[in-house]
Amino acid sequence: MADYQYLGVSIEEKVCTLTISNPPANLLSKAVLTEINGFLDGVAKDPNVKVLILTGAGTFFIVGADIKEIAGLKGAAEGTEASRLGQMVIGKLEKLPIPTIAAINGHCLGGGNELVMACTIRIANERARFGQPEINLGILPGFGGTQRLPRLIGLSKALELMLTGEMINAKVAEAMGLISRALPEADVMKQAMGLAKKIAGKSRPAIERILHLAREGVSMPLDQALKLEAQLFGELCATEDMQEGLKAFLEKRQPKFQDR
């Protein structure tokens, strides 16, 4: 892995932890987004990484984009360019061939909330607050929030959050389906790492195909999605990991997948 100014990277048992560190609030500045973009290019090709955990340094997760940078934008063209950069980086995160777990350790607002919506699994501590406050600045969520939020929690609830700019707590976010778990503060990274290691112990070919089906199938007609499911199931039946999984089950032991 490369050296980064704003990112901390560690790998343990095929789980990579990415810590975003831009004190005090871990703003998604252009420089931070650029580093995340380069990191994602590398981790997508790393055979030693099967799961990615994202978290923030300090007491915040990410409280949004860099408002000073937004204030310095000159006209529509520069605004569009800034939005497209955020959309591109977050889209790349969403399309990674490995699962991503957002370990939300504090306030998760604006661009931070847009970033975690692209993750596979989202867990947060009970102290965290969520929201899309862009309307308070006379702008809109420009890193994909207007599209991903309604898809996650429904149109009415998403519009309420985006049109009022109000924050919600972690328990409300869990009830809405924005996150899957609201946990005591001390448990977030422990739970995230436990989930990640459990997933990392599974077969990479199966992981990749499940991700692909879940992401792509929802936008297909059901018959086409089922046809794709059958095709990818068939592909897995030709893998060494499938043979190992079945053998381990019959022998009443844990499988030792080789990701082949």
Span 225-234, pLDDT tens digits: 999 999 999 9
Q: Which of 134, 166, 235, 251 is labelled catalytic?
A: 134
Tokens of 55: 């978290």
Q: Is the Cβ–Cβ distance between 96 and 54 less than 8 Å?
A: no
134 among known catalytic residues: yes
Angle at which helices 155-164 and 145-153 cross, to 10°:
140
Query: Can you give the pLDDT at residue 55?
Result: 98
231-248 tens-digit pLDDT: 999 999 999 999 999 999
**Structural domains in the chain, sorted by start:** 7-200 (3.90.226.10), 204-250 (1.10.12)
Given a cut of 90, whether residue 3 has pLDDT beyond it is no
Query: Can you give the pLDDT at residue 2?
Result: 76
Cα–Cα distance measured from residue 229 to residue 5, given in angstroms and rounded to the nearest whole number: 42
The one-letter amino acid at 104: I
Residue 143 sits at φ, ψ, to 5 deg, of -105, 25
Residue with tokens 């580093």: 35
Tokens of 22: 């831009």
Q: Which of 114, 126, 174, 235 is labelled catalytic?
A: 114
Given a cut of 70, whether residue 1 has pLDDT beyond it is no
Closest CA to 50 of 178, 199, 183: 199
Given a cut of 70, whether residue 146 has pLDDT beyond it is yes
Whether omega for the bond prior to residue 97 falls within 30 degrees of 0, making it cis, is: no
3-state secondary structure of 137: helix
114 among known catalytic residues: yes
Q: Model-level pTM?
A: 0.94
